[in-house]
Amino acid sequence: MWLIIFAWKNMWRNRYRTIISMAAIFFAVILSVIAGSLKEGIFDNLVKNVVSFYSGYAQIHKKGYWDEQVLDNSFESTSATAQRILNYRNVSGITRRLESFALLSSGDVTRGSMVVGIDPEKEIQVTQLDKKVIQGSYLNRNDTAVLLAQGLAERLKFKVADTILLIGQGYHGATAAGKYIIKGIVKFGSPDLNEKALFMPMAAAQDFYSADGMITSYVISLHNPGTRGNGICLAFIAG
């Protein structure tokens, strides 16, 4: 008790020194909290922006697909599998994709592109692809049209309502070829994705690649990426 009294008296023996010390500690703590909050907020927003471009927070593939990303390593999608994934409490959304490559041609101009078959409605839940449309309109499930990335469209001088020809290799070596109308132009913050992406509805992509009922991945979004619930989801992926 006496030590507390002596300490209190000593603090106010030189009140200017005490006030300066208290102010220095107070503002140091405040600035430290603000800096930490800004850092965490900026990092979380950066991660959210990156995964919302295309990848999602987690993906499910057939074993071996990541080493050899070809259609022969696709797998059959079922509503039961999708529902099982959605049952995890931290999973906020799931969408299917069929991803491959094809030559994109119009007239004498040809360029390779990444072709992505999507569920238009469910893709919005994971990547908000509809908000990236800068010209034209977004896809519907029954469309036989495509969305083209801005950089790819500019290189090949394509615009909305143009017809493009896709040529590639389908499932189990089948020939893939088809003509499609460009329904919209999408713009991504990722330069790499903006230079090569083409999106079409899942049914059209499966028909183009002769891969009826097949997909290459489930893409997952999460309610809270920082919780331990993610471990449950990743354990399912690993299994």
Mean pLDDT by 10 residues, the chain (239 residues): 71 76 86 82 65 78 87 90 86 92 84 93 90 94 94 90 92 91 91 90 95 92 66 43
100 plus 116 within the same structural domain = yes
Other CB atoms closer than 10 Å to residue 187's CB: what's the count?
Answer: 14
Whether this prediction's pTM lies above 0.85 is answered by: no
Q: What is the pLDDT of residue 181?
A: 95
75 plus 42 within the same structural domain = no
61 plus 35 within the same structural domain = no
Domain with 31, as residue range(s), is 2-50
19 plus 34 within the same structural domain = yes
189 plus 101 within the same structural domain = yes
**Beta bridge partner(s), residue 105:** 110, 165
120 plus 38 within the same structural domain = no
Q: What is the pLDDT of residue 109?
A: 78
Choose among 15, 97, 88: nearest CA to 61. 97
The token pair at 4 is: 């507390």
Chain centroid, CA 23 distance in Å: 46
Tell me how many domains the chain contains: 2
Q: Read off the pLDDT of residues 11-28 as tens digits, 9 standing for 90 and up.
A: 677 777 778 888 888 888
98 plus 31 within the same structural domain = no
19 plus 130 within the same structural domain = no
Residue identified by tokens 């999408």 is 186
Q: What is the pLDDT of residue 58?
A: 85
117 plus 17 within the same structural domain = no
